[in-house]
Chain A
Amino acid sequence: MSVQEDKQQELRLGNSFGWVVAVGFFLLAGWFFLTEPVQDHPLTEPVRVQASIINSGAFRTATPEPPIVVIAGMKQQCNSCHTLFESKQMSPRRLAQHTELTLNHGGNEWCFSCHDTEDRNKLVLPDGEQIGYDRIPELCGKCHGPTYRDWQVGIHGKTLGYWNKEMGEQTRLTCSQCHDPHSPAFPTMQLLPGPNTLRMGEGDANIDRHDHKHNPLRKWQEPKSNPWEEGH
C-alpha cells in the first residue's frame, strides 16, 4: 500500500467519523428543541401560612383608660354598675359576677390588691394612690421589681416600630398588652409549621434524631390537617 492510499484511507475514516459526530449533534439538538424543559418547581407543595396569623403587634388588647367593658353588647365603664350596686363584703369571696375571669395570679388572690375600692374606674397602688389604667406598669412593678426595671430600659417586653427613635416612632408595649393581669403567665400557644422534613411522609415526621433516617428526596405529603391555611 502506498503512503498516499494509506492517507486517503485515513481521511475516509476521519470523514465518516465526522459524520457520525455531526449526526449525533443534530439528533441531540433536535431532542433538546423538542422536549419540554424539566419543571423544577414546585418541588414540594409549599405550606401556606396566612399573613394575618403573623401578628406584628400587641399579643392582646389591654383595657383602655378610662376602662371600657362590653356587657350585653353595650359599652360600659366599671362604674356604670359599681356606682349603682354596692359590693356586699370587702374581703376575698367567690363572686356571682365576673365569672368570665379566672384569677390565677399566684399569691395575689384579692381584687382590691389592684382595683380601687372607692372608684372602680381606677386602680390603686399599695400606698393608696388611685391611678388610671395607663399607669399599669407602675402597679405591676410594685411586686415585680426586677422585671419592671428590665422593662423600663427595654430588656423585658416587646418594642415595635423603630429601633432608632430619630428616624421614626417607637412603641413600647405595656404589661397588659402581653399578659392577662388576672392570669399573667404567658399562655402556651399553637406553633407555626416546621421545616419541610416534617412533611415528608410517614416515618419522616418526628424523626428520631439519633438515627438520621429521613430521606430528603422523599416527596411532600398532604399534612393531616393544615391549621395555617385560610378558613381555619
Chain B
Amino acid sequence: MQLPVLNNATAYKGARKGATRRSFLRKSVAFAGGITAFAAAISPLKDMKNAPARSLEDWFRDHYKELTQEQKDTLFADIAKDVKEQYGVDVTIDQPGPIPGVEYGYALNLSRCNGNRACVHACVKENNQSRSPEIQYIRVVEMPAGTFDLENGSHNFDEALVPKPDHYYMPIQCHQCADPPCVKVCPVEATWQEEDGITVIDYDWCIGCRYCQAACPYWARHFNFADPYIPEEEINPDMAYLSNRPRARGVMEKCHFCLQRTRKGRLPACLEACPTGARKFGNLLDPNSEVSQILRTKRIFVLKEDVGTRPRFFYYFDERTTRNGRGTA
C-alpha cells in the first residue's frame, strides 16, 4: 500500500535532498522566464522615440488639487519639454484659475445657426484635437423643421449650400452641467467641476475607463482610442494644463469652454469663428452680460431638461426669422 507522501518523512526528506540541483535549475528557469516576460512587457518602450522629460516625481505626484504652485510649475515645464520633443514646437503651458464672481454660460441662437461647421474646425485647431482618429468637440446636427426629436437629426449632412430649406441646425458640445453625471461616475476623480462651472479633466490622472462617456447624456466626451495625430504646423502653442495641451492615447477629453482663453477674458474660439453670430458667451452672474440678457428676454430651452443635469448651455430663438428672406424684421 502506498503511504501518503506527507507521512513518509524519510522518503520526503530524501527526495528533497536528492533534488536540490534540480530545484535550483527549476528556479533559475522560472527566473529567466520571468525576466523574459518582463522584458517582453516593457519592450514597447524601446520604440518610444523620445524618453519623456517627466521627472519621477511627476509620475508619482499627488492629485492635481493637492499640488503646490511650485510642483505645478515643474510639471508644466516638464510637459512643455515633452511637447517640444514630440512636435518640435515651443509652447507655453499654464493653468489659469477660475475668476472670482464668474460663472460661465453659453447661449446659441437656433434661428441664426446655418450649420456651416466653422465652429467645429475652429475648435479642433484651438484645442489641439486629434485630426486622425478624428476628435471633434462640437457636433452639428441637422434637424427637420418643426421637431425637437434628435432621433430625426443627422450629423452626416453634406449639402453644397447651407442652410437646407426647411431644416435647422443644432450644434451640441459639453453643456458644463451644474449637476454633471460625468463627474459623479469617475472612479479616480480625474474630472471635476470648478468654481466657474467648467468641468475639467486631468489627462494625467484619467485611467481611460470611459465611465464618464457613458454617463454624459450629451455625447460630449471623446476618447483617444489611438495616438492622436496633430500636424506640427497646426499646433496651438497657447496651452493650459487642464484644457488644450496634447493628450495621449487612452484618455478622455471634451469641451472646456476654451478655458485657456475665457479665463483670461477672451471669447471662445467657436464663437469668434461663427459667421452668423449665433453663439453668445459670458458671465451668468453679471446681469448685463450678453448671456444674462438672453436668459431674461428670449425664449430659451436646455437639451434633455428632464435628465436633471442643469446645463449651462442654452438654446434660444428669435420671435421671427429673417432667414432666406422670410419674415419681416
Contacts and interface: CB of A to CB of B under 8 A. Distances in A.
B290 A154 contact: yes
Given A55-B273, A158-B274, A163 B293 contact: no
B121 interface: yes
Interface of A: 2-4, 7-8, 11-12, 14-15, 18-19, 21-22, 25-26, 28-29, 32-33, 37, 40-49, 51, 53-57, 59, 104, 106, 144-147, 150, 153-164, 166-168, 173, 178, 184-186, 188-198, 205-207, 209
Contact of B40 (A21, A25, A40, A167): A25
Contact of B161 (A26, A41, A146, A188): A188
Interface in B93-139: 99, 112, 114-118, 120-122, 124-125, 131-134, 136, 139
Contact of A8 (B15, B25, B160, B229): B15
Contacts of B280: 154-155, 159
B329 A144 contact: yes
A45 B26 CA distance: 52
Nearest to B12: A3
Contacts of B157: 191, 194, 206
B275 A164 contact: no
Q: Which 8 A-B pairs have the closest CB atoms?
A: A167-B265, A46-B131, A158-B277, A154-B290, A164-B265, A42-B132, A7-B15, A25-B36
Contact of A46 (B33, B227, B229, B322): B229
* Interface footprint category on B: 35 or more
Contacts of B66: none
**Best-buried of B117, B122, B277, B329 by chain A (most CB within 10 Å):** B277
B266 A163 contact: yes
A22 B8 contact: no
Nearest to B234: A51
Contact of A163 (B5, B46, B283): B283
Interface in B272-315: 272-277, 280-283, 288-290, 293-294, 297-298
B39 interface: yes
Contacts of B262: 163
Contacts of B2: 3
Contacts of B33: 18, 21-22, 25
A189 B162 contact: yes
**Best-buried of A18, A21, A104, A191 by chain B (most CB within 10 Å):** A191
Contacts of A147: 322, 329
A11 B26 contact: yes
B167 to A, nearest CB: 12
B37 A25 contact: yes
A192 B116 contact: yes
B267 A159 contact: yes
A206 B280 CA distance: 31
B178 to A, nearest CB: 20
Interface stretch (B16-24, B82-90, B208-216): B16-24
Contact of B156 (A2, A41, A205): A205
24 contacts: A4-B14, A7-B11, A25-B40, A37-B44, A40-B226, A40-B227, A41-B227, A42-B131, A43-B133, A56-B272, A145-B329, A146-B329, A167-B266, A178-B276, A178-B277, A188-B163, A188-B324, A189-B162, A191-B157, A194-B157, A195-B155, A198-B156, A205-B156, A209-B156
A168 B163 contact: no
A29 to B, nearest CB: 4
B290 A153 contact: yes
A153 B289 CA distance: 8
Contact of A191 (B43, B115, B139): B115
Interface string B37-60: 101100110110000000000000
A186 B15 contact: no
Given A160-B267, A198-B158, A155 B18 contact: no
A33 B40 CA distance: 8
Given A29-B40, A55-B275, A155-B294, A189 B329 contact: no
B133 A54 contact: no
Nearest to A49: B121
B40 A4 contact: no
A189 B323 CA distance: 12
Given A32-B43, A40-B227, A197 B116 contact: no
A53 B262 CA distance: 23
Given A3-B11, A54-B125, A155-B290, A191 B132 contact: no
A206 B5 CA distance: 74
Given A185-B323, A191-B117, 12 more contacts: A3-B11, A19-B29, A41-B132, A42-B229, A44-B133, A163-B265, A164-B99, A167-B265, A173-B277, A189-B116, A195-B136, A209-B154
B145 interface: no
B324 A185 contact: yes
A129 B260 CA distance: 47
Contacts of A43: 132-133, 226
Given A7-B19, A43-B133, A160-B272, A207 B156 contact: yes
A168 B276 CA distance: 23
B264 interface: yes
Contacts of A158: 274-277
